[in-house]
Copies of this chain bind each other. A is one copy, B any other.
């Protein structure tokens, strides 16, 4: 099959997309089906916990690695080969689409995304908007990486990756990671029109990033709203949810399921579903049976092993995995995952053992 085919839209009936992965445990669970196999993958499974990742990344900056299709694809595939997880997640960073849209951003080791200049005023936002939309041409490195990956994955689904507009806007306004996101939260109240223009712009950029991944072969997408937990429910609904809905609308016609995840968001779960998510990712703080009740028993769940327990003795971790799987069985469907990303110091052998245990428990 030649490269041009992979670039046409892949709808739910398209043989390259759901025809290939529709029978996979992850895609079926995301569709509220109950596959025979209990599926499992790990947020940040493509990362520093793997020696082969550290070897492949050596000497290459984070954003450079994201934009080299062969390398991004290799890093995406490594954990699938090693752990036998049921899905890959595309190796990228939430600021990649900002960079491709022309924002001066880099990732400083040990710090996180740092901007050349924060975006704080109506003029700053107007300059972003005037620079024009994020084009398919600019997204070519991403599209290329996804195509290489899905060609290798076969029937294992690739999950597309993007940050939510609120979290992107928080980085843009603060200029760097922040605990309280005070400047961003001030802007949304002090100048709601500028805030809305900024988050709409971020929605279009991150929506285009998601759409490119799906068109290149991703079978589902996950939107990460890392900082949404900093908002009250009222602020989330008024000042974050509209832009998240706008971003997700950009993939609504493509027939893929959407997972929505944040941390510290127990008070936001229903609102995070209502922006257009099919599946809600639950952080380690909220037991899955409780999350299922909060969501009315109607939503497939993903999560929520506590990453802190990956470093505990196996008997403690095994009991925890069994507890999470038991609580998840109340939901319409459950994709086992962590309740946050894999810590860099994790023993990869432990992750493989968790996958084996989940697959045993799921039968």
Contacts and interface: CB of A to CB of B under 8 A. Distances in A.
Interface of A: 179-182, 185-186, 189-190, 229-234, 264, 266-267, 284-287, 306-309, 311-313, 316, 320, 340, 343
Contacts of A266: 266-267
Nearest to A232: B285
How many copies of this chain does the complex contain?
2
A190 B285 contact: no
A308 B186 contact: yes
Contact of A189 (B264, B286, B308): B308
Contacts of A340: 180
Contacts of A313: 190
A228 to B, nearest CB: 11
A190 B320 CA distance: 12
Given A180-B340, A264-B264, A231 B312 contact: no
Contacts of A234: 287
Contacts of A233: 285
A229 B311 CA distance: 21
A320 B186 CA distance: 12
Contacts of A190: 311-313, 316
A287 B264 CA distance: 16
A308 B185 contact: yes
A311 B188 CA distance: 11
24 contacts: A179-B179, A180-B307, A180-B308, A180-B343, A181-B308, A182-B308, A182-B311, A185-B308, A189-B308, A189-B309, A189-B312, A189-B316, A189-B320, A190-B312, A190-B313, A190-B316, A229-B264, A232-B285, A232-B286, A232-B287, A233-B285, A266-B266, A266-B267, A267-B286
